[in-house]
A and B are shown apart, each in its own frame.
Chain A
Amino acid sequence: MKVLVNTGSSILGFIQEVGRLFLFILKTFKAATSRWYLKNFFLQIISIGYLSLPVVALTSFFTGGALAIQIYYGGNQFNSEVIVSSIVALGITRELGPVLGGIVVAGRVSAAIAAELGTMKVTEQIDALRTLSTDPYEYLVFPRVLAAVISLPILVGFADIIGIMGGWLVGVQSLGFNGTVYLQNTEAFLESGDIISGLIKASVFGFIISIMGSYHGFNSKGGAQGVGRSTMNAVVSSSILILASNYIMTNLLFSS
């Protein structure tokens, strides 16, 4: 009996949480139709986009290099110059660029948003905003969401180029490929749809990262421990949602 009660209350708790998140997203969309705090938006573009570039670039560079080695040694080495370059390009642009970039940014940005807004919540700064006739969804949440939705595709665009270059560098330096032929093969196999699908995914991941960071920050309770828990929940939930939504989007974009 106790098991049933616990299971039931867990399910109800989950449904409540989903409902609260849905309302939070609705309020954020509503904020988009009101006042835009452009200064806050540009500050977030720098914080979310520009400052994430080094970590995304490094991740992508090493992933591209590792992928080239795996394909070369793991597969048939016959005609490997064509296979390695094409799989590295497709793998990076379609999957690894957006997914790894998204997860790395989730760790950096979602945590930062949750910690910042969580601290503002527990120190009553969000209440203070309301008493100063300022809607916190307009002032805090929407600029972050918009900045993340715009920044992530740009970051992933850079990640695509750097990842492919990582594969090229390893191919030329370690595997003995001809650099020009490698790039020609990459160009020949890569289609605009591959790149665009990755950028669409990145935009969705940007939304997930910023919404989960803001939602958990806004719902922080207690002191430092509460903010720490919110930060952890923001990173975990955004990482899981990135992987789940990636599967759904891959199905939608490529199954046809």
Chain B
Amino acid sequence: MIEIKNLNKKFNNNSVLKNLNINIEKGESAVVIGQSGTGKSVMLKCLLGLIKPDSGMIKINNVSILDKNLSYSNKNRIKIGMLFQGGALFDSLPVWKNISFISLQGKVSEKECKINALMTLEKVGLKSNISDLYPSELSGGMQKRVALARAIFSEPDIILFDEPTTGLDPITADVINNLILEKVKDLGATALTITHDMASARTIASKVYMLHDGAIIWGDDVSELEKTDNKFILQFTRGESNGPISHRSN
């Protein structure tokens, strides 16, 4: 379960998050949609402890992950997996070491790590013969799959996806969407995805939220996406330039 309450974040004088509130139930797959620059990535980075919010509260499984000074404090060691937009695979390490990176830093033997990495590789539909290749030797779709394998390797309670289908062709994007859906269900994890890709949102989401100007302005079941008369949702899903959402030059 993810609970974000009254989250605020400013960069210089620019308020990016303005009293952001969102509740994602355990096992739910939530998708946050919204225009570029509305604060989606900042919200995700606050969840990961990569950005310190100015005020507010973040709870995961009913435990606050921010201490009194709003610094990240994951004392309960809640496992969070993250799929970055560009994959963020370590280019100095082969595929299997990327996947099992977290175990390699522990006391698990390299042999065992490799076996586990190969098993995870299989779960995302890749063959073991690519395990010794480096990320630069893989296609974009394969890199995304390896990144997904790394995100689910430690069987996390929470999985975050940042624009999982960006830069992929529609067929590969659909494969990734279905893989995400399948793996989130298999693990019983709570998932939070941010995306612009409505096809992706419709496939992955059980609930959809719209972030506009630093706050959630709409949230409902994915089926309501087609029924709602919310002008922001209508403009965004139809991809129209005219409407309440003004075009941003950034």
Contacts and interface: CB of A to CB of B under 8 A. Distances in A.
Interface of A: 119-120, 123-125, 127-134
Interface in B65-118: 80-82, 84-86, 88-91, 101-102, 105
A133 B105 contact: yes
13 contacts: A123-B86, A124-B84, A124-B85, A124-B86, A125-B90, A127-B45, A127-B84, A128-B88, A130-B50, A131-B82, A132-B101, A132-B105, A134-B101
A129 B90 CA distance: 9
Nearest to B74: A133
Nearest to A138: B105
Most chain B beta-carbon neighbours within 10 Å: one of A123, A125, A132: A132
Contact of B88 (A127, A133, A134): A127
A26 B85 CA distance: 31
B88 A123 contact: yes
The 7 nearest A-B residue pairs measured at CB: A128-B88, A124-B88, A131-B82, A124-B84, A132-B102, A125-B88, A127-B50
Contact of B102 (A123, A124, A133): A133
A23 B80 CA distance: 28
A133 to B, nearest CB: 6
Interface in B44-61: 45, 48-50
Contacts of A119: 91
A229 B85 CA distance: 24
Contact of B48 (A120, A127, A134): A127
Given A125-B89, A132-B101, A134-B102, 13 more contacts: A119-B91, A120-B90, A123-B86, A124-B84, A125-B90, A125-B91, A127-B84, A127-B88, A128-B82, A128-B89, A130-B49, A130-B50, A134-B105
> By DSSP majority rule, is chain A's interface helix, strand, loop, or mixed?
helix
Interface string B157-180: 000000000000000000000000
Contacts of A128: 82, 84, 88-90
A143 to B, nearest CB: 13
A124 B163 CA distance: 13
Nearest to B90: A125
Contacts of B80: 131
Contacts of B102: 132-134
Contacts of B101: 132, 134
A120 B87 CA distance: 12
Contacts of A129: 90
Contacts of B49: 130
B48 A131 contact: yes
A119 B85 CA distance: 15
A141 to B, nearest CB: 15
B178 to A, nearest CB: 24
Nearest to B92: A116
Contacts of B48: 127, 130-131
Nearest to B50: A127
A12 to B, nearest CB: 14
Contacts of A127: 45, 48, 50, 84, 88
Contacts of B81: 131
Contacts of B85: 124
A178 B85 CA distance: 68
A120 B89 CA distance: 9
Nearest to A43: B92
Contacts of B89: 125, 128
A142 B75 CA distance: 25
Contacts of B91: 119, 125
A130 B102 CA distance: 11
Interface in B105-142: 105
Contacts of A133: 102, 105
Interface in B194-216: none
A130 B105 CA distance: 13
A129 B48 CA distance: 11
A123 B150 CA distance: 16
Nearest to A37: B105
A133 B84 CA distance: 15
A123 B84 CA distance: 9
A216 to B, nearest CB: 19
A31 B144 CA distance: 31
B250 to A, nearest CB: 14
A107 B48 CA distance: 36
Nearest to A134: B105
A129 B102 CA distance: 9
Contacts of A124: 84-86, 88
B143 to A, nearest CB: 11
